[in-house]
Structure 1
Amino acid sequence: MAPDVHEGRAHGGYRSTDAPPAHRGRAAWHEALARTFGAVPLTVPGEPSTGTVRTSSLGRLRTATVEGEGPSALRPRPRVGPDGRGDHLVVTLLETGTARLEQDGREADLGPGDLVVHDLARPFRLDFTRAFRTKSLVLPRDVLGLSESETAQVTARRFGADTPLGCLLAPLLAGLVDGVGDFPPRTLKLVARNTVDLLGMLADEVLGRTAADSTGGDRALLLRIQEFIDRNLADPELSPEAIARAHQISLRYLHKLFEGEDATVRRWIQRRRLKECRHDLALHRNTTISAVAHRWGFTSAAHFSRVFRDAYGMAPREWRGIQESAPAGPPSARLVEA
């Protein structure tokens, strides 16, 4: 997916390099930030502020580079309005200047190289010095699988270059933001996925979560993914990577969802395919074994026969022979369900 890139000066980043009229400075700055981070109230003390905002879209993710020349404070209302940013998180790398973020009863004082997370769904205050530059990733909360209470434990915490994950995440986030428009789409997707994976690790570290932890939200998402798998079994391109992309979650988070299922994601897909093949082998007895295998996403008849034997202790042809000699009715229940 090619990125959608917009750039401009102090009015939303929409392909304009002209500075706004002086009397429009404050309003234009507000509009620029609102287009990027949601429709939030903005306070700019003193003279009208100017700056630039460069944004790009990567599916459900959005990157932004913001440069400002005057102090500003963002104060969003709870549940940002119909612009769709209400359930989004913002991960910000402060490159120049200093800033302070207040949210969820905490204050984070930030300097160059520091990272911080804030939630657009709840009130916060973010103050900058006279000159600053930030690089941010805006992402839906469900990408990280965080509940509202979990998010409240992650926000307004400083992650600096002196922390193990901070020193890894900062250059990766900067590379993702800077690479839009230059990197091939495949490279951008890989960098974005790695960035989200590190964000998930950062959240796990703050929350003290273990691999065994699970939430109701995780279960609901898992059920949706399993339904998606069933609908797409015939697609030979169905893979953990494709599933993660379709649900806008990291590959790491996808594998975590399946930890309680006694099967990896690939193993789950294979089990479901084998079950459908077994059914069709009995029901459509004039269809070749190879055709049945290809109908359910197996690209190699030999591979299908091998995994079928591993699962059921007999070759597909033997299974079909048993069914042909069995009385009319549903396929034999002698084999354990896949």
Structure 2
Amino acid sequence: MTVADHVAVAVTRPDSTSTSVDHWRMGRDTELMRFRYGGVAAATRRRLAADPSTRLITVAALTPGDWSLTRDHRPVHISPDRPTLVVIDQFSPFDFRGHGDGSAIAVHTRHARLTLSIETIDSALDHVHPELPLYPLALAHVQQLGVIAASAPEILPELNSTTIALVRSLLLSAAGAAGLAASTKSIVTSIERHIEEHLDDLTLKADTIAAAHNISARQLYNLWPESNGSLAGYITAQRLDRARKTLRTHPHLTVAAVARRHGFSDPTHFTRRFRSAFGITPSDWRRRAAFAASRN
């Protein structure tokens, strides 16, 4: 039961003598496996339809090392210098490559034992990460199962129910994180659209943006992604970019008029921010753009 029949497994270093597999039955439809390898590949290329009673879910604790994993053809981000917990649906596309010596302790169980929908598990797979509160506990639990298997394997069946309950809770937590991530992404997209539509409004600020989305300013700042930079910086950058285009396309407008049109009440402040962003004053930018246009 440990590996589904359709999963292709191959030793990638034929000269290696460190590959070995041990497995122990924990309970109905649940097994524990220790896998030591010196170069291995395991993969399934396509999603297979299967009754939940036959679908296999694997939760594995991998030692630090040179290995890679893709799931549904997307790379799984890992920390090669520390143990990592991964969850794999053996009936969905995945590709594991152990490029050097390494090992894994894995719990294999049937999907039906988890009493979770396929949709919940699919949602959870990409969101099992170290920031989840249950991640360290689940990682340590799987690692400890390997220790127990080596010293007192007869105890493993007594830990089956606890193991299944912990895996189920981990996946529910990850699915909840996935739902939260999707909801957050939707709100951020709405906020970005609101900023674009009201970019030239002098009253555009955190309070008005938050009010438009029925959230507090604090919630707005918590939702705003770090990758966008600060909220104020994002708004300023968008305004400056729009103003730079207007300086070129509306030569009859003064710099002060362009500044006011794009949400800057103080032309001096606008000029200072423009120069900081583009390394040139608005007036010099306009002259340079006009000269370039005249040569075309």
In structure 1, C-alpha distance between the alignment counterparts of 2:39 and 2:94, rounded to whole Å: 19
In structure 2, C-alpha distance between the alignment counterparts of 1:80 and 1:178, rounded to whole Å: 35
Letter in 2 for 1:108: V
**Map 1:1-338 → 2, pairs under 5 A:** 36-39=2-5, 40-45=7-12, 47=14, 49-50=16-17, 51-59=19-27, 60-75=29-44, 77-79=46-48, 86-104=54-72, 106-110=74-78, 111=80, 112-160=82-130, 163-180=132-149, 182-183=151-152, 185=154, 187-208=155-176
Which consecutive unaligned segments of at least 5 residues does structure 1 have? 1-34, 210-338
Deviations 1:231-275 (A, max 9, x none): xxxxxxxxxxxxxxxxxxxxxxxxxxxxxxxxxxxxxxxxxxxxx
SS in 2 for 1:101: strand
CA contact (8 A) 1:74 1:124 kept: yes
SS in 1 for 2:77: strand
Superposition deviation, residue 155 in structure 1: 2.1
Superposition deviation, residue 191 in structure 1: 2.6
Structure with the larger RCO, 1 or 2 (CA within 8 Å, 6+ apart): 2
In structure 2, C-alpha distance between the alignment counterparts of 1:203 and 1:143, rounded to whole Å: 13
In structure 2, C-alpha distance between the alignment counterparts of 1:80 and 1:135, rounded to whole Å: 27
Identity of aligned residues (%): 20
CA RMSD after TM alignment: 3.1
Letter in 2 for 1:96: P
Deviations 1:176-227 (A, max 9, x none): 2331364374x43443322222212211112229xxxxxxxxxxxxxxxxxx
In structure 2, C-alpha distance between the alignment counterparts of 1:68 and 1:149, rounded to whole Å: 32
Task: Give the TM-score of the pair, scaled to structure 2.
Answer: 0.50
Structure 1 residues 74, 128: CA separation in 2 closer, same or farther (over 3 Å shift)? same
Pick the structure with greater CA Rg.
2
CA contact (8 A) 2:53 2:112 kept: no
In structure 1, C-alpha distance between the alignment counterparts of 2:54 and 2:16, rounded to whole Å: 26
In structure 2, C-alpha distance between the alignment counterparts of 1:85 and 1:131, rounded to whole Å: 34
In structure 2, C-alpha distance between the alignment counterparts of 1:143 and 1:97, rounded to whole Å: 31
Which consecutive unaligned segments of at least 5 residues does structure 2 have? 178-296
Aligned length: 172
Between Structure 1 and Structure 2, which shows a larger proportion of helix residues? 2
Structure 1 residues 140, 146: CA separation in 2 closer, same or farther (over 3 Å shift)? same
Superposition deviation, residue 66 in structure 1: 0.6
Superposition deviation, residue 55 in structure 1: 0.7
In structure 2, C-alpha distance between the alignment counterparts of 1:181 and 1:87, rounded to whole Å: 28
Deviations 1:47-105 (A, max 9, x none): 45540111111222111111111242423554499xx9950100010123243222235
In structure 1, C-alpha distance between the alignment counterparts of 2:4 and 2:161, rounded to whole Å: 24
Superposition deviation, residue 129 in structure 1: 2.4
Letter in 2 for 1:202: L
In structure 2, C-alpha distance between the alignment counterparts of 1:196 and 1:122, rounded to whole Å: 21
CA contact (8 A) 1:107 1:157 kept: no
